[in-house]
A and B are shown apart, each in its own frame.
Chain A
Amino acid sequence: MTTPDTMVQHYHEVVDCQYACPAHTPVPEYIRLIAEGRYTDSYMLNWESNVFPGVLGRVCDRPCEPACRRGRLQEEPVAICRLKRVASDFKDDIQSRLPKIPEEKNGKRIALIGAGPASLTVARDLMPLGYEITVIDEQQKGGGMIRSQIPSFRLPDTVIDEEVGYILDMGVDTRFGEEVTSLKSILDEKFDAVFIGTGAPRGRNLEIPGRYDAEDHIHIGVEWLANVSFKHTNSIGEKVVILGGGNTAMDCCRTARRLGGKEVTVTVRSPFAEMKASPWEIEDAQHEGIPVLDNHVPVQFHCEDGKLNAIEFQLVRAEYDAKGKRSLIPTGEDNVIIECTDVIVAVGQENSFPWIERDIGIEFNDWDMPEVDKITYRTSHKKVFVAGDAAWGPENIITAVAQAHQAAISIDLFCNGKRLSSRPGPNWTLVSQKMGIHEWSYQNNVVDDERYAVPLIATDKALADLSVEVELGFDANLALQEAHRCFSCDAQTVFNASKCIECDACIDICPTDCLTMTHYDPSVDDVGDLRQRLTGPAANNEQPIYVSGSLPDTGRVMVKDENVCVHCGLCAERCPTAAWDMQKLLYTEAQAGDSCQK
């Protein structure tokens, strides 16, 4: 039974995209602002939640899109990520809308180790509260792997400079070009708290025969990309083989294509369908003429006089045991030898903390990683916090940002002498959208349009220059059309059982059979059984079911399967007593300052 105090959580879950976003960005609201041409407002709404809208609008891992409700009714979800870029591309100058930084500081000094998205988020959250922040990074500029790894044809430097700049220009003290080799020495500087945002900097190696026989031609993916990014590397041989099927491999192969690789091939151990890379990254690589060979396990490098000639693979097929565990079984065919000039090993990343002394109060676990609390992001040392890739291994930017917001809350609570467990709750409002008969203040008509493709630059132009951005972005018109595809899942169907006269009008009109009135007693009846007797098949158990209190006339309950509600508002439109109303949920996660300062 859904009771009033659980309703906000229920409604939050209904906004699939926002719920799936680690930072819970209010997606439908920002899409609505784009449709209204309010790009700057849309940008700022994003900026508050996810800190890097221009970056994320290009390269976010976008967990929101597979979750998007439209993907359950049509082939493709709303282009949530690319709309974010529109807000960034078309916004006005936002300087005046950035938070004011107090001249008078609060006397608390915080060190952030690493200047990636995690640390920068902590800085962004704490600077407006009067903290003095020092960021230390061995690189010369801020941005972390956003800058060192993500190639500029996906993410231009100007965008990184701009969004990193908004934060550093708040008056952050930067110690760039300084590698931290001892956490103890940082702690000795008497900071009030230390945040570790050093990422997962080390590329995993592949120890097979011949690995060290042609050092100049066998590269570790993340190191090679960083060298390209910082212009230490600007060419590669003509025949390049990439080992690995993740996003790093996709960036490596596309970069290799631009640095002189004529025949670039990606090889993965697993079957194609199990590649780790995002589908769109694989698609982009294939679009640039890069083949992917699956079920290829590398066994040996063939080298001669420090020169790489070829790499040899064993062919396998995947078999799964009863538990679904995969093993790769050799097919028995002849090994495959691929001639090549260079190999890039992109088989994963690792954390490494040689610079953290093991005797300063930080517990390490069996994987030699610091023990970090999943809610507070604090280590066993009361002043040391960790988030982003450094916490539990490589993830993505938006996860680093979301975790860092939580770490910032913890640091703020800690510095104010409060318990880390007394965390501020989310901010939310729920407001009726009714304007009049047939009139709602959100766009409730539902368009049939399929997803609009983002225009790309011609492939030959893209391949000719490493720094040319491949995607051109939506123009205002395409953005408007794509924005209209959003169902506005934040326009919640809010039910008031005491008003219902059980006329059936809402059930009859609902296009997607979401609603049912039936007898159901939560204390004896089973929800699984309830799902079986609803108007439309309620087969998606991941989507919540709303169950009202008992209806005045018959004692039945109103049940709504949220799964394919298109938020058209027709139930509310056709209800004679306004028992249904469409109310907009604006939900944002708490941030540092929400409990201490207010």
Chain B
Amino acid sequence: MTYQKPNFRHPLAPTNNLGLSRREYEGALSTLCAGCGHDSISNAIITACFENSIEPHKVAKLSGIGCSSKTPTYFLGNSHGFNTVHGRMPSVTTGANMANRDLTYIGVSGDGDSASIGLGQFAHVVRRNLNMLYIVENNGCYGLTKGQNSATTDLGSISKSGNANKFSPIDLCNLSMQLGATFVARSFSGDKDQLVPLIKAAMSHRGFAFIDVISPCVTFNNNPGSKKSYDFVREHQEATSNIDFVPMQQEITTQYDAGTTQEVTLHDGSVIHLHKPIDGFDIHNPRTAMRAMKDHQERDEILTGLLYVDTDPVDLHDVINTNSKPLNSLTKEELCPGNKTLQSINESLR
């Protein structure tokens, strides 16, 4: 009569390069509705971090407000976390990142949190190319406040109460490309084969990596006529290509057919393999991606997969030339170099 996750795990469960089991990457038991897409995304994040052997204490997870923004409690229980206010995750993450550039930043937000109240913050964090993974758990509604339409609800999508949405949606992938994002992808919570490698690649990308994950709200937006239901997404999803991710430390063992597989090497040496890409799609050209997305949207189809990547990005630290070390590691001597240095600065300005 209790609701607790047992402590037993599979006796043959593997450990990663750090000797950690998957369990070390789990969080508290979710309090979201049973079957919520968001829980699936939490699990994809756990899998990606576990398989990539990321040290849990080197990750910071930040979020805003919403069911989606609650989820950082449910993964990476041994990492740093900050639950900010509605729509304000980008600015708090910017501050944290400026202070400590050595952490991996995972921002989790919702379509309401990012496309409605937080749209301004979203725009600026993209154009600044902050080094982070930004995930929008996109259910096309305000789940936490009982399912009102959001700014990503598709035109004509029928709500649970039976009304068709009359406003055009904001496509956050399209918008982020216009704003200069350097890694853009879309995925589906019900497709971990695609989502996990995307998250791994996004964490290896140095710069702003955006993943819009369609994540059905089973309680308020999984009804017939909804364009973000499990059924609809499954029927209307098309992937730009199949994706594999090979982290930097690991040797590439699988042989790929050069004709159908494209290799993308990220700055840290890890490699993304894209198999069977759709015709005429150029992963390094934002314009082809934007056009393809628009075409798909007009046909009521959802284009998923990796949409665009810049393998040589210039992130915010590069642009504003910050210190190469986290602020908390600077010594008093470095922070306060003394009167002699002050005098020489003053001298140089005379």
Chain A residues in contact with chain B, CB under 8 A?
72-73, 438-440, 443-446, 448, 501-505, 508-509, 511-513, 536-537, 539, 553-554, 564, 566, 568, 570, 573-577
- What 7 additional pairs, Cβ within 8 angstroms, besides A504-B43, A511-B8? A501-B218, A503-B189, A503-B216, A504-B40, A570-B6, A576-B34, A576-B36
Contact with A along B23-54 (1 / 0, CB 8 A): 00000001001111101101100000000000
Is A536 within 8 A of B12, CB to CB?
A: yes
Contact partners of B43 in chain A: CB under 8 A: 504, 508
Bound Cα distance A508, B44 (Å): 9
Bound Cα distance A512, B5 (Å): 10
Bound Cα distance A448, B234 (Å): 40
Contact of A73 among B11, B30, B42 (CB under 8 A): B11
Contact partners of B12 in chain A: CB under 8 A: 536-537, 539
A-B interface contact total, Cβ < 8 Å: 101
Nearest-Cβ distance from residue B232 to partner chain A, whole angstroms: 11
| Contact flag A513-B10 (CB < 8 Å), given A501-B230, A502-B190, A504-B43 | yes
Is B5 within 8 A of A570, CB to CB?
A: yes
Contact partners of A574 in chain B: CB under 8 A: 34-35, 39
Q: What are 28 inter-chain pairs, A to B, with CB distance below 8 A? A: A73-B8, A438-B1, A438-B3, A439-B1, A445-B2, A445-B4, A446-B8, A448-B8, A501-B231, A502-B230, A503-B40, A503-B189, A503-B216, A503-B218, A505-B34, A505-B40, A508-B40, A509-B5, A511-B9, A513-B9, A513-B13, A536-B13, A537-B13, A553-B230, A554-B234, A570-B5, A570-B6, A576-B34
Bound Cα distance A513, B5 (Å): 13
Is B189 within 8 A of A504, CB to CB?
A: yes
Contact partners of A537 in chain B: CB under 8 A: 10, 12-13
Nearest-Cβ distance from residue A80 to partner chain B, whole angstroms: 19
Nearest-Cβ distance from residue A554 to partner chain B, whole angstroms: 7
Contact of A503 among B3, B6, B9, B37 (CB under 8 A): B37
Answer yes or no: B328 CB below 8 A from chain A CBs.
no
Is B7 within 8 A of A446, CB to CB?
A: yes
Bound Cα distance A502, B119 (Å): 32
Is A448 within 8 A of B230, CB to CB?
A: no
Which residues in chain B, 244-271, are within 8 Å of chain A measured between CB atoms? none
Is A564 within 8 A of B34, CB to CB?
A: no
Is A564 within 8 A of B192, CB to CB?
A: no
Contact partners of B2 in chain A: CB under 8 A: 438, 444-445
Is A508 within 8 A of B39, CB to CB?
A: yes
Bound Cα distance A483, B258 (Å): 60
Contact partners of A576 in chain B: CB under 8 A: 33-36, 218
Is B1 within 8 A of A511, CB to CB?
A: no
Is B34 within 8 A of A536, CB to CB?
A: no
Contact partners of A72 in chain B: CB under 8 A: 11
Is B1 within 8 A of A440, CB to CB?
A: yes
Contact of B231 among A438, A444, A448, A553 (CB under 8 A): A553
Is B35 within 8 A of A577, CB to CB?
A: yes
Nearest-Cβ distance from residue B144 to partner chain A, whole angstroms: 17
Contact partners of B8 in chain A: CB under 8 A: 73, 446, 448, 511-512, 564, 566
| Contact flag A505-B39 (CB < 8 Å), given A553-B234, A575-B34, A576-B34 | yes
Contact partners of B190 in chain A: CB under 8 A: 502-504
Nearest-Cβ distance from residue A555 to partner chain B, whole angstroms: 11
Contact with A along B188-220 (1 / 0, CB 8 A): 011010000000000000000000000010100
Bound Cα distance A37, B39 (Å): 39
Bound Cα distance A529, B222 (Å): 35
Contact partners of A509 in chain B: CB under 8 A: 5, 30, 39
Q: Which residue of A lies closest to B12 (CB)?
A: A537
Q: Which residue of B lies closest to A501 (CB)?
A: B230
Q: Which residue of A lies closest to B5 (CB)?
A: A511
| Contact flag A511-B3 (CB < 8 Å), given A72-B11, A503-B37, A503-B190 | no
Bound Cα distance A570, B2 (Å): 10
Contact partners of A570 in chain B: CB under 8 A: 5-6
Bound Cα distance A245, B44 (Å): 55
Is B13 within 8 A of A503, CB to CB?
A: no
Bound Cα distance A570, B4 (Å): 8
Is B35 within 8 A of A573, CB to CB?
A: no
Bound Cα distance A85, B196 (Å): 52
Bound Cα distance A554, B233 (Å): 12
Bound Cα distance A552, B189 (Å): 18
Nearest-Cβ distance from residue A231 to partner chain B, whole angstroms: 51
Bound Cα distance A325, B180 (Å): 73
Nearest-Cβ distance from residue A69 to partner chain B, whole angstroms: 10
Bound Cα distance A504, B234 (Å): 13
Is B10 within 8 A of A443, CB to CB?
A: no
Contact partners of B13 in chain A: CB under 8 A: 513, 536-537
Bound Cα distance A536, B8 (Å): 13
Bound Cα distance A591, B230 (Å): 50
Bound Cα distance A568, B6 (Å): 7
Bound Cα distance A48, B189 (Å): 51
Contact partners of B42 in chain A: CB under 8 A: 508
Contact partners of A73 in chain B: CB under 8 A: 8, 11
Nearest-Cβ distance from residue B67 to partner chain A, whole angstroms: 14
Nearest-Cβ distance from residue B85 to partner chain A, whole angstroms: 28
Bound Cα distance A566, B2 (Å): 14
Q: Which residue of A lies closest to B23 (CB)?
A: A511
Bound Cα distance A504, B213 (Å): 15
Q: Which residue of B lies closest to A72 (CB)?
A: B11
Is B35 within 8 A of A536, CB to CB?
A: no
